[in-house]
Chain A
Amino acid sequence: MLELIIISTLNGILFGMLLFLMASGLTLIFSMLGVLNFAHASFYMLGAFFGFQISRWLGFWPALFIAPLLAGALGAAVERFGLRRVHRNGHVAELLFTFGLAFVIEEIVQIIWGKSPVDFRIPSSLDFPAFQIFSTNYPAYKMFMLLASITIFVGLLLVLTKSRVGLIVQAALTHPHMVGHLGHNVERIFMLVFGVGTALAAIAGVIAGPALVTQSNMAALLGPILFVVVVVGGLGSLPGAFVASLLIGLIQTFAVSINGSLAEAFGPLSPAYAHTWLADIWDVTVAQIAPIIPYLLLVLILVFRPMGLLGTRET
């Protein structure tokens, strides 16, 4: 039991950090450009596939650096040639543009790499058990994932708070027009932020690719959870995104290991009708509803605290 809790906590934090890598990019993009990038999870997927392809040619460690750069460059290009054009058609058009982009990226990935999972392996230098928790081995690669995510998070924090560019970006997060008035090239900052945001998602993809299945439906599986994280944390709030990522990562990981259901909780005290028309809800275990718990959380937050946990802006 204790073993299960410790492993689930570790896995939950790990998953949460991965989510945060992606959610941080999404929050930055949303705060600066006001557009919720539907294609963000697609850049995560592109990162994984670029990482896979480059690791086949050059090895895993070069892939770790090159793949996010490629994906980020692609993201910047998308912003420069696509979003900027669509911007004049309104917010709805921008949102729909990213929506269509997500679709097209998934199709292109399927065309190039096929629809089956690809064999993205853990690099042999990391393919050993790190330590033993009671009787289960905890792989070293997962510790690497955790370390890498934390390093990037700390790096992001430092850049945002200590560097000049970071301060401008922080200012543009809350007062974009003022930043423009002060003479900074807001358009270039937009492109930079979009590129960095998508590069962050891509790094998450390269790191997660060997551990999870690298397949063309990765984006569709992780996309909705990502939006839940960003909205629950508060649109436009990086600390909020961090808290929400960890929360949802832990909830999802713990939920699948809990077999309790209302039937088990009530046991022989269950009313007779519970097993007939109410049977679906009564007998369902927490593990079975694990995939929808984030959406429940989303709806609850939007009802009771629409700004999100730590949100600062309405929209």
Chain B
Amino acid sequence: MSELTTSVAPPYPPLSEKLRFYGLWVAAALILLILPKVFGSGGALTTFSLIGISIIFSLSYNILLGQTGMLSFGHAVYYGLGGFLVIHSINLIGANKLPIPLPFVPLIGGLTGLFFAALLGWVSTKRSGTAFAMISLGVAELIASSALILRTFFGGEAGISANRTKLFRFFAWNFGPQIQIYYLIAAWTLLAVIAMYALTRTPLGRMCNAVRDNPERVRFVGYNPHVIRYLAFCFAGFFAGIAGALAAINFEIANAAYLGALQSGAVLYSTYIGGVGYFIGPIVGAIFVTLLSLNLSDMTSVWQLYFGLIFIAVVTFAPGGITGLLMMHRPLIKGGSLGRVLPYYAIAFVPTLAMIVGLVLAIETIVHYSLNPSGDPNIRAFGIGFNASSPIVWLIALVLIIAGFFIARRTWSWLAHVWDEALTTARDKGYHT
């Protein structure tokens, strides 16, 4: 028997791997600690706080989508309910002077999320696939619409506000300044990420993957897919509640938008663009999408169009998201053949960039003409000024789009060719992933 286990079981990781693994976490903690020293402005701290909240929320969503294969259109419900209960709690704690300092309050949000996920989850997870998506949409719309009707709890459109400085101090911090909120969020983000990573390494986490891949087989093995989906749903709700709680603490207000379809869409967007196939995917997606959404609206008034186009592009050409794309290169890196591919990337990049620039020019010109036809034609988009009424600009845009498209097609097929060669080389050396 022991012979079997020694030959079948994977070997204990060597010390270097263990060091690398734990070192990664320690490095992450260190980065979180010193980040405000490098970028210290109020706006930067707010951005980091938002990114932290988004990371927790996206990771919780990926428990459903990436790990258990459940596409939910209503995950913001648990985020929002967590946020609302935390706002009410802060008001209650402050009014009654209960000895609960702010750092423990997100736990209340998490438990709220867990409670409602447990309540609604059994029925929601009966089906999977499209039916589950529809149920989640229906439940989300139901609760979001109710939020405007049940005014005492949800505060109508104005929402409910609270003052986070009224709670007991935590080691001389009253959590008024943004830097203290940043550290609170950073600490909770680290804890949540560790917890969710640990979840993926448990047998439950593995069975979630199994349910995603082949629910019938799971039944044969003796597990009930419904129960597994339900447990995953509850965990996802718990962490979503924590994210909602941190958002409520950050903004000191909770309103019906927390529960709405837009918020659900936003987390779906972040998670998918980051990549659902890897644990780090939603983290990358959260950072990317938060930065994009904060800054794109300053550069152009049709940022929503660009968001939609990026989403469609990712769904069509890169369904693995950003991390999926990057991880595709892992065998090449290990096999040493990445260098062969890079020059072709550079070559393909030029016409693709040209095509994109042409598209942006065209879009911004059309937008200008539809919104402000008699206004000043010298507009700026993405920091570059140009004259929208000049036919030369239109001609340039047209040429860039058409020429860019055809040249890009050619260069991408070269790239694909070289890629195949490089991949074969790597595979020959034994590196398959």
Direct contact of A and B (CB under 8 A): yes
Could you tell me if B123 and A303 are in contact, using CB atoms closer than 8 angstroms?
yes
Could you tell me if B139 and A299 are in contact, using CB atoms closer than 8 angstroms?
yes
B70 CB to closest chain A CB (Å) equals: 10
Q: How far does the alpha carbon of A315 sit from the alpha carbon of B308 in the complex, in Å? A: 27
Chain A window 272-302, contacts with chain B (Cβ cutoff 8 Å), 1 for yes, 0 for no: 0000010111001000110110011011001
14 residue pairs A–B, Cβ–Cβ below 8 Å: A82-B316, A86-B315, A89-B315, A97-B316, A101-B308, A111-B370, A112-B366, A284-B149, A292-B145, A298-B134, A299-B123, A302-B131, A302-B138, A306-B126
| A284 contact set on B, CB distance < 8 A | 149
| B367 contact set on A, CB distance < 8 A | 111
Could you tell me if A299 and B131 are in contact, using CB atoms closer than 8 angstroms?
no
Could you tell me if A298 and B312 are in contact, using CB atoms closer than 8 angstroms?
no
> A107-B302, A295-B145 are known contacts. Are A235 and B315 too (CB-CB below 8 A)?
no
Q: How far does the alpha carbon of A113 sit from the alpha carbon of B151 in the complex, in Å? A: 36
B387 adjacent to chain A (CB < 8 Å) = no
| B145 contact set on A, CB distance < 8 A | 291-292, 295
Could you tell me if A295 and B305 are in contact, using CB atoms closer than 8 angstroms?
no
Chain A window 64-88, contacts with chain B (Cβ cutoff 8 Å), 1 for yes, 0 for no: 0000000000000000001001100
B133 adjacent to chain A (CB < 8 Å) = yes
Tell me the A residues contacting B by CB distance below 8 Å.
Answer: 36, 82, 85-86, 89-93, 95-97, 99-101, 103-104, 107-108, 111-114, 224, 227-228, 231, 235, 277, 279-281, 284, 288-289, 291-292, 295-296, 298-299, 302-303, 306, 314-315
Q: How far does the alpha carbon of A81 sit from the alpha carbon of B135 in the complex, in Å? A: 30
Q: With a 10 A CB-CB cut-off, give which of B151, B305, B315, B363 has the most chain A CB atoms.
A: B315
| B305 contact set on A, CB distance < 8 A | 104, 107-108, 111
Which 10 pairs, one residue from A and one from B, show the smallest C-beta to C-beta distance? A104-B308, A298-B138, A107-B305, A295-B142, A103-B308, A100-B311, A292-B145, A280-B150, A89-B319, A100-B312
Could you tell me if A302 and B134 are in contact, using CB atoms closer than 8 angstroms?
yes
Q: Beyond A89-B315, A298-B142, A314-B131, list 4 extra A-B contacts (CB 8 Å).
A: A92-B69, A224-B141, A228-B138, A280-B152
| B182 contact set on A, CB distance < 8 A | none
Q: Tell me what chain B mostly uses at the interface: helix, strand, loop, or mixed.
A: helix
Q: How far does the alpha carbon of A104 sit from the alpha carbon of B304 in the complex, in Å? A: 8
> A91-B129, A100-B311, A303-B123 are known contacts. Are A224 and B137 too (CB-CB below 8 A)?
yes
Tell me the B residues contacting A by CB distance below 8 Å.
Answer: 65, 69, 71, 123, 126-127, 129-131, 133-135, 137-139, 141-142, 145-146, 149-153, 261, 265, 268, 272, 302, 304-305, 307-309, 311-312, 315-316, 319, 363, 366-367, 370-371
A245 CB to closest chain B CB (Å) equals: 16
| B130 contact set on A, CB distance < 8 A | 36, 91, 95, 235, 315
A69 CB to closest chain B CB (Å) equals: 24
Could you tell me if B312 and A101 are in contact, using CB atoms closer than 8 angstroms?
yes
Q: Which residue on chain B has the smallest CB distance to residue A94?
A: B315
Q: How far does the alpha carbon of A114 sit from the alpha carbon of B366 in the complex, in Å? A: 12
Could you tell me if A288 and B149 are in contact, using CB atoms closer than 8 angstroms?
yes
> A93-B319, A224-B137, A315-B131 are known contacts. Are A299 and B142 too (CB-CB below 8 A)?
yes
Could you tell me if A97 and B315 are in contact, using CB atoms closer than 8 angstroms?
yes
A260 CB to closest chain B CB (Å) equals: 15
Q: Tell me what chain A mostly uses at the interface: helix, strand, loop, or mixed.
A: helix
Q: How far does the alpha carbon of A197 sit from the alpha carbon of B69 in the complex, in Å? A: 29
Q: How far does the alpha carbon of A92 sit from the alpha carbon of B276 in the complex, in Å? A: 11
Could you tell me if B138 and A100 are in contact, using CB atoms closer than 8 angstroms?
no
| A96 contact set on B, CB distance < 8 A | 71, 268, 272, 311, 315
Q: How far does the alpha carbon of A290 sit from the alpha carbon of B40 in the complex, in Å? A: 49
B47 CB to closest chain A CB (Å) equals: 24
Q: How far does the alpha carbon of A314 sit from the alpha carbon of B130 in the complex, in Å? A: 10
Q: How far does the alpha carbon of A113 sit from the alpha carbon of B366 in the complex, in Å? A: 11
| B133 contact set on A, CB distance < 8 A | 36, 95
Q: How far does the alpha carbon of A295 sit from the alpha carbon of B138 in the complex, in Å? A: 5
From the candidates B138, B302, B307, B319, name the one contacting A90 in the complex (CB within 8 A): B319
| B311 contact set on A, CB distance < 8 A | 96, 99-100, 103
Q: Which residue on chain B has the smallest CB distance to residue A228?
A: B138
| A288 contact set on B, CB distance < 8 A | 149
From the candidates B65, B123, B268, B312, name the one contacting A302 in the complex (CB within 8 A): B123
Could you tell me if B308 and A231 are in contact, using CB atoms closer than 8 angstroms?
no
Could you tell me if B304 and A103 are in contact, using CB atoms closer than 8 angstroms?
yes
Q: How far does the alpha carbon of A93 sit from the alpha carbon of B261 in the complex, in Å? A: 19
| B366 contact set on A, CB distance < 8 A | 111-112
